[in-house]
Structure 1
Amino acid sequence: MFGRRRREESPARAEEIEQAEEIEQAGQAERVPARESGPWDSGEPYSERERVDLGGMRLPVDPGFEVQLNLAGDQIVGAVVMADESALQVHAFAAPKRNGIWAEVRDELAEGVKSAGGTAEEREGPFGVELAAEVPADGVAQPVRYIGVDGPRWFLRAVISGRAARDAGAAATLESVIRDIVVVRGDEPMAPKEAIELRLPPEARQAMEQQAPEGDVPDLNPFQRGPEIAEIR
């Protein structure tokens, strides 16, 4: 039936229909299948839970979590979640539209760890291939897990240290945080590996403005500077 109707169309109309079908098929081939868990892009549906709005990242929080911020000068570039003698450090970076960068970043991290006298090896984890490392700190090798997730035009790097680097039960809590992070990439052009800038949540900025004397710069930071673990260069 469909073939007969198409033959009855004018040649120009038939050509338009064929072109439209080709474009639709190409779009379906390039479309990324829906994921079952995050981290999420802000443009896709994601589960509801309490999150701190840091601008370029919406970070899940639960009772008992302590949140710290990573600073590069005056710029907020990452966050750290402290829980149960463990730490989860997360940074979001710009990435190419079509190509992931985790494999490249993983090689850079492994090289950096080994250059510092540590060890690093790849292994399969809940988010795919990750890097299991032993990083020297104060003369003692500390276990660290490097996790990377390639998203649409962004890359999320997560670093788990402390008890959760070895304890599966403690790790599950921080892994659930990673799964519910929402990355807000934005539409502005950014170079690959450029940090997606974060900012204080609206309620924290409002508190700072309310407590600041008129004409004075407030000296209030509801977060602390988090530990730095192997930056991307």
Structure 2
Amino acid sequence: MAFGRRKNDDQRDETTETPAPAPADPELDDEGGPFDIEDFDNPDDAALARLDLGSVLVPMPAAGQVQVEMNEVGVPSAVWVVTTNGRFTIAAYAAPKSPGLWREVAGELADSLRNDNAKVSIEDGPWGREVVGTGAGVVRFVGVDGYRWMIRCVVNGAPESMDRLTVEAREAVADTVVRRGDTPLPVRTPLPVQLPEPMAEQLRQAAAQQAQMAAAQQALIQQQQAQGQQPTERRSASGSAMQQLRSSSSTGG
């Protein structure tokens, strides 16, 4: 993992410092991440070797890909890192200055999984409790409390590859940088996701292509109806291009 140079501890405001728990996973670096953008002398250093999503800057594992999910109005709702072992997504939320929000959220997630008839377990991770739900697949929630922000990582994969995927996700969380901003926000408000312009342009092109194909399909149906034929549906070759977009993992900031 690539770490940028951080400010010395004696340059930090001791009244706002929230010490990070020591990593329990031997695979993790001992630098004490995830980080705040304010940890860097030069904020531009935070974008090196990380995917800049606005509110979070996420390192990419080797051979990783990016999968973007869009909501109904065309705004990114989740950005997944996809590896051969599964996928995970890292997002940041507004939080109080003092830690403790993740403990509340973890309890709510566990209850929600139980309501969905999933088998639930609580496990100790590098930053405290992690919630694991097992059903048709396995989902793991990793959370970290920061200063005015909280990270939630969702890890989703098959049982046989979950251990390897969890290591990848924890390593990514440990090297993630949060760009919280100064705007006051209600607690638990998701911090906005902003795609890098090359990736956003790919999505726009995919959306335009999908719209053209939909228009062509509708015109064909209307033509068949006018001729008294039974309309035949054609599935777009691009599939759900607006919902899922894979691109090279070399995008870094």
TM-score (norm 2): 0.64
The residue number in structure 1 matching 2:196 is 201
Structure 2: state its 5+ residue gaps.
Answer: 1-12, 22-30, 211-240, 247-253
- Cα distance, 1:163–1:116 mapped onto 2, change above 3 Å: closer
Deviations 1:188-213 (A, max 9, x none): 1111111111112033346778x79x
Q: For the residues of structure 1 that align with 2:201 and 2:89, how far apart are their CA atoms?
A: 26
Q: For the residues of structure 1 that align with 2:150 and 2:101, how far apart are their CA atoms?
A: 7
Deviations 1:91-119 (A, max 9, x none): 21111122431111011101110111112
- Cα distance, 1:92–1:191 mapped onto 2, change above 3 Å: same
SS at match of 1:110: helix
Asked whether the equivalents of residues 143 and 166 of structure 1 are also in contact (C-alpha less than 8 Å), the reply is: no
Instruction: Report the CA distance between 1:159 and its aligned residue.
Output: 1.4
Asked whether the equivalents of residues 67 and 223 of structure 1 are also in contact (C-alpha less than 8 Å), the reply is: no
- Cα distance, 1:219–1:188 mapped onto 2, change above 3 Å: farther
Show the 5 A alignment for 1:84-163: 84-134=84-134, 136=135, 140=136, 142-163=137-158
Show the 5 A alignment for 1:162-177: 162-163=157-158, 167-177=162-172
Q: For the residues of structure 1 that align with 2:90 and 2:76, how far apart are their CA atoms?
A: 12
Structure 1: state its 5+ residue gaps.
Answer: 1-26, 227-233
The residue number in structure 1 matching 2:17 is 31
Q: For the residues of structure 1 that align with 2:201 and 2:171, how far apart are their CA atoms?
A: 29
Q: For the residues of structure 2 that align with 1:180 and 1:159, how far apart are their CA atoms?
A: 16
Letter aligned with residue 68 of structure 2: L
Instruction: Report the CA distance between 1:150 and its aligned residue.
Output: 0.8
Instruction: Report the CA distance between 1:66 and its aligned residue.
Output: 1.2
Which of the numbers 179, 185, 197 marks the counterpart of 2:174? 179
Instruction: Report the CA distance between 1:155 and its aligned residue.
Output: 0.9
Deviations 1:156-186 (A, max 9, x none): 1111121478643343222211111111111
Which structure carries more strand by proportion?
Answer: 1
The residue number in structure 1 matching 2:4 is none
- Cα distance, 1:117–1:28 mapped onto 2, change above 3 Å: same
The residue number in structure 1 matching 2:66 is 67
Aligned CA-pair RMSD = 3.1
Letter aligned with residue 168 of structure 1: D
Q: For the residues of structure 2 that align with 1:208 and 1:83, how far apart are their CA atoms?
A: 21
> In terms of mean alpha carbon deviation, does 103-112 or 172-181 score higher?
172-181
Instruction: Report the CA distance between 1:87 and its aligned residue.
Output: 1.0
Instruction: Report the CA distance between 1:125 and its aligned residue.
Output: 1.4
TM-score (norm 1): 0.68
SS at match of 1:204: helix
Q: For the residues of structure 2 that align with 1:79 and 1:208, how far apart are their CA atoms?
A: 13
Over alpha carbons, which structure has the higher Rg? 1
Q: For the residues of structure 2 that align with 1:104 and 1:171, how far apart are their CA atoms?
A: 22
SS at match of 1:132: strand
Percentage identity across paired residues of the two chains: 28
The residue number in structure 2 matching 1:56 is 55
Letter aligned with residue 163 of structure 2: A
> In terms of mean alpha carbon deviation, does 122-131 or 162-171 score higher?
162-171
Instruction: Report the CA distance between 1:147 and its aligned residue.
Output: 0.6
